[in-house]
Amino acid sequence: MDPFLKSSYIFILVRLLGFSTHSPLPLNPLSPSLRFTISCMFIPAGHMASAEDSKEPEWIERVRSEGAVPLLEPDNCPNGWACPPGDTFMVRGPEYLSNKVKIPGGKYLLKSLGFDWIRSSTKVGDLLSHRKHRIRKVVDEAFPTGDKPFIWAFNLQLPTKDNYSAVAYFVSTEPIQEGSLIDQFLKGDDAFRNSRLKLIANIVKGPWIVKKAVGEQAICIIGRALSCQYFISENFIEVDIDIGSSMVASAIVHLAFGYITSLTVDLAFLIESQTEAELPERILGAIRFSELKIDSAQLIEPSSYGSSGNLQASLPTRLWKSLGQGFSHLLHPGAQDSGSVSTPTTRVNGTAAHEESDGDVK
């Protein structure tokens, strides 16, 4: 800074803080808050930014920064992920059962934690049971004596040649209340979870044909339309969602995958409210990913993790079946029956503890 300007700033600061240049006694002292504001004028911009960034716990910042796909701003996140505003989604209002009125989603119940874009030679599943999974490693290091935060993972297993998975992670920031809908979901059986877990999907930006296929604010009870596996331990739940188990969903994903570098997608996860006491609905968490690059997906070796292992048929057979029925649905959307795309869900005892694996999962 120019010496003259520096001297001028110091003189003004001295006067504003209430000291006379001729007397050691304070004159008209300012309030502490104003003094702080003035003093901040002399703090370098980088220091101010770092103070704002330190609002989140260090372990959360670490998880968010270590993923292969970066965390960016919702309005500008090419080849990145972000947390979209809750009001982007419409959910059941307090009197929905009588008036069918939906309201903006509002504040999320969970905090967004991370996003993984991965691929492998086989379908990837049960990720969080591995000690060397990148989020498990961070949590175990940050909380070595227990009392760990509760992590949620939603693993969308895409029916693609290289077995891509898009995995969204969230964390509970408050204790789960006994008897709450979340508590019932975690303690209930797979039949209950299958009947309640809901996905809201929205194509924020993309080609017309993809928007037409998905629809605006597409809503799906995941366990009724897709095969799901639930893995629950003391401090995490992972839901592995096999998109390839539905021919219609598989066809739509195959269509969208061809445009993935130009798509911006919002996904919200919630537990459906089905009684008046459970209303209004609250969104667990949501994620936005945008313009993902195919080659940015992290390669995971099969020996490094447990695969879900329930590939139903050879890929070419499933692909052509999916494309045939899927595009038929696109041409005749009114013919869809939610029951016709359901498949038996592979059940996992949600309350059983997992045998820990030391396989290296990123």
> Over the stretch 32-66, which tens digit does the pLDDT of each residue have?
333 333 344 443 433 333 333 448 999 999 999 99
For residue 78, report the phi and psi dihedrals to the nearest 5 degrees: -65, 130
3-state secondary structure of 22: coil
CB count within 10 Å of CB 145 equals: 5
CB count within 10 Å of CB 190 equals: 17
Q: Lowest mean pLDDT: which of 18-27, 60-69, 83-92, 175-184?
A: 18-27
pLDDT at 143 over 50: yes
Q: What was the pLDDT predicted at 2?
A: 52
In the chain, where the domains are located: 56-341
Q: What was the pLDDT predicted at 146?
A: 80
For residues 39 and 204, what is the distance between their CA atoms, to the nearest angstrom?
43
Q: Please, what sign has the CA dihedral across residues 141, 122, 302, 224?
A: positive
Under 8 Å between Cβ of 213 and 310? no
β-partners of residue 307 are 124
The residue-averaged pLDDT of 286-305 equals 89
pLDDT at 290 over 60: yes
Token reading at 1: 């800074």
For 138, residues 6+ apart whose C-beta sits below 8 A from its C-beta are 59, 62, 63, 66
Q: What angle do CA 298, 222, 334 make, to 5 degrees?
A: 115
pTM above 0.75, yes or no: no
**CA dihedral angle for residue 268, residue 263, residue 293, residue 221, rounded to 10 degrees:** 30
Q: What was the pLDDT predicted at 55?
A: 81
Under 8 Å between Cβ of 217 and 206? no
For residue 166, report the phi and psi dihedrals to the nearest 5 degrees: -110, 115
Report the greatest alpha carbon distance in the chain.
91
The residue-averaged pLDDT of 336-351 equals 37
